[in-house]
Structure formats: C-alpha cells, structure tokens
Structure 1
Amino acid sequence: MVGAGIFVALAPAAAAAGSWLLIGLAVAAVVAYCNATSSARLAARYPQSGGTYVYGRERLGEFWGYLAGWSFVVGKTASCAAMALTVGFYVWPAYAHAVAVAAVVGLTAVNYRGVQKSAVLTRVIVAVVVAVLAAVVVIVAASGRADVDQLRLGHGTVLGVLQAAGLLFFAFAGYARIATLGEEVRDPARTIPRAIPLALGLALVIYAAVAITVLAALGPERLATAAAPLADAVRMAGVAGFEPVVRVGAAVAALGSLLSLILGVSRTTLAMARDRHLPVALAAVHPRFGVPHRAEVAVGGVVAVLAAVTDVRGVIGFSSFAVLVYYAVANASAWTLESPQSPGRLAPARRWGRLIAAVGLIGCVVLAIALPLPAVLSGTAVLVVGAVIYAVRRLRYDRDSHDLDTGGKPG
C-alpha cells in the first residue's frame, strides 16, 4: 500500500472534495477496513492463491469469480499506467508520457527474463518511501509556512466527499495482497486476519500525516491542480534542495509498484487464459525463462498504450472503479460465510462479520457510482465487455459439451 498512490492520488481527491479531503480519506479508510476484514475472513477459510477470484467462485458461483478476476486484471492494468505516469510526472514532467512508456517497456523486459522483486528489495523500497514521506512531513511542518487554516472545512458536497473517497481508495489498494498469496503464508487462519488490519492501520496513519501536511502547505485549490503535490509542498516550505529527493522517492515507489503490478497482472492473465476466460495463446510459458512471456508482452503493450495516451487522473478513477467492484464481490462472498458455532443461530462473530461485509458491499457500490462520470462509464463498459466474453465462452462450452454427449449428432 505504501507506494506511489500517496504521491499522486491526493490531487484528484482535492479537486473533488476541496478542504473536505480528509473526510474523504476517513471514508475510504472505513470501506478499506471492511474490505480488509472480509478478505481476512475469506482467506482464513480459503487459504489459496487467487484472492477474490477464488472466493467469488466458491461462495457465489463461477460468474462472480470470473467477474472479480476480470475486474482485477483491467483495474490493475490501469493501475500500472497510473504508476508509470507517476514516474513521468515526478522525474521529467515535461515529458511525462514518454518517460512512462519507457518505464513500462523497461520493466516488461525485466519481467520477461524472469527477474522478480525480492522480499529484501521490497523492504528496501518501503523503507526508502517511508523515510521520504516522514521527511516531507517534518520539513513542511517545521518550515513555519504550513497554514492550519487551510484545514478548515469550507464549501463541500456529499458527492465530492464520496468521489474523493473513491479516488483515495486507489492508494489503499494492496492490503489484501497477502490473501491472494494464501498458499504461501504460514498458519494462514491466524496470520492473515492479523496482518491485513495491521497493515491497513499503519498505512492510514502515514497517509493521514502526509495528507494533513500537504493540504496545510498548498491549500485545497493549489493541491487540486498539482501534478507532483509532495514535491510542490517541499518547494512551498522553502526547502527546494530536498525536492529532488522527493522526486526520486516517488520514482522508486512507482517503479517498485509497477514491477510488482505487471508481474501480478500477467500471472492472473495466465491463470484466466488456462481456464479459457482469456485467449489460450496467453497461457504459453517461455521454455528458457519460465515466465508467461506472451501474457507479459500483452500486458506491457496495453499498459504502454494507456501510459502514452491517457491522463493519470482518468486512469486512477477507472482503476478505483474496477478494484471497488472486485472488493464488492469479496464482501458479498464474506456475507455468505457460515459460523462454525450454532448453525441455527448467528454467533456474535458472524453477526459482526455480516455487518462489516454489508457495510463494505454498500460502501464499494456507493463509492464506485460516485466516481467521476467518465470513470464510471468506461468502467461499466469494460465490465459489460467482460460479461459478454464470459457468456460467449459459456455458450461455446455448453455447445461443445452437448456435441460430445450426443456424439456430434443433433440432440
């Protein structure tokens, strides 16, 4: 979670909610908590790799599992473009799109050769990013140029707050990654329900500190138009010498996230291709490098095109919409979980679990609908395309099964 999202998501959220940005952050955190709790309960019951792709299939049916997987692939593909554009806007703003495309091409080539981000490198990246964020907070707060009056609630709307919450949800995505790797976790029934809320809580503290600091430094109007808000906040504090450090920190965070995202999306694409939800050709594995090279190239190509032609705020909105749909399926799946105690009566743990799942489901739907209209329309269109692909595949499968049963003769 603590990656590139916090470097870029504050600006579109401020454009939506203005000084009510922090309320939007709180709403996003509540929905994220519900999603995390539901994901933890499901991961404890189904400690398998795949996350909601598995949960939806097991609890709600094959279509809902497919819809979750499809939402994950398209949403995270958009996230890849957002990460690449974050690199561009912080490293070389005048040529942000060109830098973004170069980053995608370079990391796709790295992934193609089977090079993955190790656990040690992950820790180093997180340490660097947290150190940079902490320095931004300290520098801006100590500069005396941050104005607490900027935090006062001005004019705002409920729609603006909900829209900001949906956009800020982009920065929270990632807390359920441990659930998608359930088979690789020791004692998942005990570890996962503890790890997810802990990670979410730590990220929220960091995000709140950064959001308060940047909002106090820039004000809602200037923050809303900032392409690199944290760098702008440091410059506003009169410490321009630290600005390159912030830009490097943002680039490190974005490149680390992009490397993992391309890896994850290509592997999910591989799994869905093996299940024939996507073209079977994408299931090929390179004989030397042992990677799904066609899926890698396909994902990299789509991300490169998005990074070349789209706006970072647009892809953040689209990504948030798709990921919110993904977690809506997770909450709906968690609602169906049965308590191991007193089958005829709801145990207290199950009652709370169902309440949290209901709040999470409603929250996901509301935030998704409240996103900017282009994000809602494009997200809905892509989901409809996914549903059509599923329906065509299902009809073809049923027809082939019928032919096999009848020996190729009409029934």
Structure 2
Amino acid sequence: MERRTFLRGAVVSGSAAAFGGTLMHGATHAAPAQPGPSPYGPLGSPDARGIRLPSGFTSRIIARSGQQVGGTSYTWHRAPDGGACFPSGSGWIYVSNSEVNPGGGASAVRFNSSGSVTGAYRILSGTRQNCAGGATPWNTWLSCEEVDRGYVYETDPYGVNAPVRRDAMGRFKHEAAAADPQRRVFYLTEDVGDGCFYRFVPDTWGDLSAGRLQVLRAGSGTSGSFSWANVPDPGGSTATRHQVSGAKRFNGGEGCHYAGGTVWFTTKGDNRVWRLNLAAQTYELAYDDSLVSGTDPLTGVDNITGASSGDLFVAEDGGNMEICVITPDDVVAPFLRVEGQSSSEICGPAFSPDGTRLYFSSQRGTSGSSSGGITYEVSGPFRR
C-alpha cells in the first residue's frame, strides 16, 4: 500500500492529492442552484459510445462487466457503482464497487502516466451490495454495504493489504463516506427513507478501528443550525437512526463530498443536494428540483464529486442518464448524457489526480442487467 504521510491530511492544503484533485476554491455556493448555461457549453451529438459531450471532450470504455479489462486477464465485476481515484507513482488507480448481493466487493484498474491500463484486480470479496464509499487521506478506499445492518470495509486500492471491516463506523444501510481532514472526521450517508446523516470521529486520525459514531440533530426545516450527538450503540440491535432523539431525517441519503470546510450530500427520495457549513454549523439546500424555475435538469440525484474549480458533478440514477454540473455561481446544467441506456444509472464519478479525466460507470449498460455494466473515462479541458 502506498501510504503517504497521512498526518499532512490534517490540514486542507494537504488533502488535494489524496482526493483526486477535488479540493475546491472555497465553499461559495449560497442558494439553491437554478438552470442556466453550462460553463462547458451545450452537449454535442452522441459519440460512438452513445455519450453526448461538450466540445473538446472525448470518451472511451475502460471495462465491461463479465469481460476482461483490456490488456489484463482480470474479469470486471457486475453492477459497478461508487468509485474513487488514487495516485500511484506517475499514474493512478480507479476503484469501483460492485452492487450485487451476495458477492459485492470492489475492484481496481491501474493506469500509467499516459492513461494506458496496466493492471486490474480484486481488492474486496465476499461482501454484500457494495454501493458507494469514500477515499481516505491515507489512500485507502472505504467500501460501504447498502444493506440493513451493513458494514464499512477499509480496503487497499494498491492490492497489497487485506481489507478490514470497520465495525466502529456503525451498522446501518451505508451509502457514501467523505473524509474531513481538517476536523479529522468522516461523514456518512444512510440510504433509507427516514435515514440520518452521520459523522465518525476516530480516536486516532489514520486508524478507523475505534471512535465515536455521531448523528446530526436539527429541526424539520430545509435550513437552520445543527449539532452532533453520540449514537449510544453503533452496532446494536436497535437501528442507529432510532437511537437519538431529535436526529434529523433525510429521504434516501446517497452521495457525499467534502471540500474547503463544506460537506455536500444528496438525497434521492426528494431530489435534493444538501450543504453543511461546518464552521457555522448550519445546513441548507444547494439544489432542490421542486424549487427550479422551468424544467429541472437534474433528477434522480445520486453520487457526487467535485473538481478543483469548485464545480460539483452529480450523477443521475434515472432522469436523463446525465452527469450534471453545479457551479459555484449556483448554475445547474448537464455536463454529459448517456444515450440508449434508460434502464441503467450513472455511478462512481471520480477525477484522476491531475483533474483531466473523469471516470464513471453505467451500472447496467444497454442490457438493463447487472451483468451489462460499463465503466467509462471522459477526457478534456475540465475547469481548474
């Protein structure tokens, strides 16, 4: 495992490389985003892979479920879902979960400095319905089980060390995780209709074997102040979301992304993107399709990631099979659209460490089956 000096992750300026270049230029979003012109321009005609992209961008297929990854002997997993990129020498690695049950797990694809695939391999097996997750500042991948009383597994993207189940992070229907190296905590989403939003406070930063699981407490509105309360029994028989009075409910927690003192997370049940100002301890909506003037460009909100420009990229589960961009100026617009795959969903958006390539998967591809997943790369002039 290429464990860098992770104590540097305690400051925001040291976290950009570990998060694939997603350190933003400050949390300037201040109101629910509205439709407007994309900073990348309109979408073009579908390319040979059925992807509509702005001018200057190109796509390629990296892997297909049930087929060997090009140039390797490794067979790519079914139902690719959440993912992240990690630096590896002069190249990088893209990690992808498998949302099947039983089986689950996660796989990795290794790239050299020119972007050519040099290897692919399994990093987690024998788990259940691994949906999303998150990268750590010390270059491990947290793979989360989206099942009742599911676990978080800490895995090695480099394929050296065995995965470790992190019981202290709680047993619930996990979705995504996002690290906050400034406060030395992890934020966690829960994918149920009356789910909660959590943070995990490790006893020792860099070691997830012990710590406190806390739940966000707030009023019933869409904005206000919040606080954290300890979950008394993170692994108990009583659901974590029912253990703390006043815990705020969210309708189907999905993706989660941290940058520059702000954490964003999505709730698919009501097509919202939420924003927490961590210094002020306030929350509000960054996007709500019910508050959009005109046609809403973003529906079925799911996985979320960010670019160094401050742009958020939100993948759709359904909708028009798009990845939409939300700019720091609160404009939301399509960035790409996958044609001919209406029975699928877009998963696992993640940038390469230099910010020039975006990886994502269509979980069920053109077949509409978990055996038809396709993992893509998009290259082009992303804003910095």
- Larger gyration radius, structure 1 or structure 2: 1
Q: Structure with the greater relative contact order (CA < 8 A, sep ≥ 6): 1 or 2?
A: 1
**Normalising by the residue count of structure 2, what TM-score does the alignment of the two structures yield?**
0.26
Greater fraction strand: 2
More helix by share: 1
Scaled by the length of structure 1, the TM-score of the pair is 0.25
